Amino acid sequence: MAKTIAEALLEASAALGNKPDHRRDAALLLGHVTGLSRSDVIAHPEALICHAQLSRLQAMTARRRKGHPMAYLIGTQAFWDLDFKVTPDTLIPRPETELLIEIILSQDDTAPKTVMDLGTGSGVIAVTLAAARPDWSVIATDASIKALRIAQQNGAGLTNLDFVAGHWLACFGGVVADIIVANPPYIDPLDSHLAALVFEPQSALVAQDNGYADLKTIIHQSTPLLAKNGYLLLEHGYNQQDAVLREMRLAGYAPTAYCDLAGNPRAVMGHRKETL
Ligand SMILES: C[S@@+](CC[C@H](N)C(=O)[O-])C[C@H]1O[C@@H](n2cnc3c(N)ncnc32)[C@H](O)[C@@H]1O
């Protein structure tokens, strides 16, 4: 039997647990299965939704109850000023990562740049920078071909953005970049927080050597590929900043530390010294 939007919303919200967050999730899922905007859902509670839409809503609500992230259920995640397609092959972009965009776009030197985004995932960093700076040239790379396909879809239409499959900087002999940026996997394989992240690709989250393996590889591979006055910008875990600063200095960088909006140490920018 067909139900009204109001009935379907109540049912989905109750199935999720009826807290304010659940009501918001139910409204988003309803909007997703019906194609209606949030304001349409609110403005037309009496409109009917068909049986097929109701079944889909019930199936999605059941998956949400099992912990599936909203971003994977509705297939998109907002980042900076854009919406990005995401799938279980890509990490769900986090608001902390916007700090990297903020740092790069707030630099005084706005001359055209060549940027490499390593481990691009859904492409959030590369696409945001390419869209914000049409005169820059951006290269996005990832070891995951499946993730790279999603990034390509997110970057469709941008003519200043290229995609290359590969392991960190190993395939970039001879290329020189002004900015190398990465949000690499940095979680210790034994970290208890991983239990809450089972739906996301572990290859996007976990790094060996207590979470430092990929950070260190990038720091040391990047030095020969940076232009004079170029810089390397890395996101890292909240408790990894001292070690990242140390590793950057070891590689010959002059590093600066940054905190995210929550006040957690979150990024280090290493300036290439003239003598490198
Ligand atoms: C933490 S996710 C970051 C995704 C995206 N940049 C973001 O900020 O949302 C790390 C990404 O690094 C990629 N990755 C893991 N190991 C890699 C490697 N050896 N070489 C290149 N990319 C790698 C993963 O596939 C994943 O997309």
Residue range 53-107, pLDDT digits in tens: 999 999 999 999 999 999 999 999 999 999 999 999 999 999 999 999 999 999 9
| Distance (Å, whole) CA 78 – CA 69 | 14
Q: Residue 172's pLDDT is what?
A: 86
| Distance (Å, whole) CA 155 – CA 274 | 34
Q: Residue 38's pLDDT is what?
A: 82
Nearest C-alpha to atom 4 of ligand 1 is from which residue?
A: 121
Judged against a pLDDT cut of 60, whether residue 133 lies above it is answered with yes
Q: What are the residue ranges of CATH 1.10.8.10 in the chain? A: 3-68
Q: What is the pLDDT of residues 187-239, one digit of tens each?
A: 999 999 999 999 999 999 999 999 999 999 999 999 999 998 899 999 999 99
CA distances in angstroms from 105 to 109, 121, 144, 244, 267, listed in the order given: 9, 20, 27, 22, 15
Could you identify the residue written with the tokens 């970290």? 191
Q: Residue 18's pLDDT is what?
A: 85
Compare 8 and 174 and report the one with higher pLDDT: 8
Nearest C-alpha to atom 11 of ligand 1 is from which residue?
A: 119
Q: Name the residue of 100, 120, 124, 194 to mutate for ligand 1: max ligand atoms within 8 A of Cβ.
A: 120
The CATH class of the 3-68 domain is mainly alpha
CATH of 85-272, one of 3.40.50.1100, 3.40.50.720, 3.40.50.150, 3.30.530.20: 3.40.50.150
Q: What are the residue ranges of CATH 3.40.50.150 in the chain? A: 85-272
119 CB within 6 A, ligand 1: yes
Find out whether 115 and 181 touch, Cβ atoms under 8 Å: yes
Q: What is the pLDDT of residues 15-34, one digit of tens each?
A: 999 888 899 999 999 999 99
Residues with Cβ within 8 Å of residue 232, at least 6 apart in sequence: 180, 181, 218, 219, 222, 226, 248, 253, 269, 270, 272
Alpha helical stretches, state H, the chain: 5-16, 20-34, 38-43, 51-65, 70-74, 98-105, 124-132, 145-154, 213-222, 241-250
Q: What is the pLDDT of residues 134-155, one digit of tens each?
A: 999 999 999 999 999 999 999 9
pTM: 0.95
**How deeply is 56 buried, as exposed, middle or buried, from its count of CB atoms within 10 A (0-12, 13-18, 19+)?**
middle
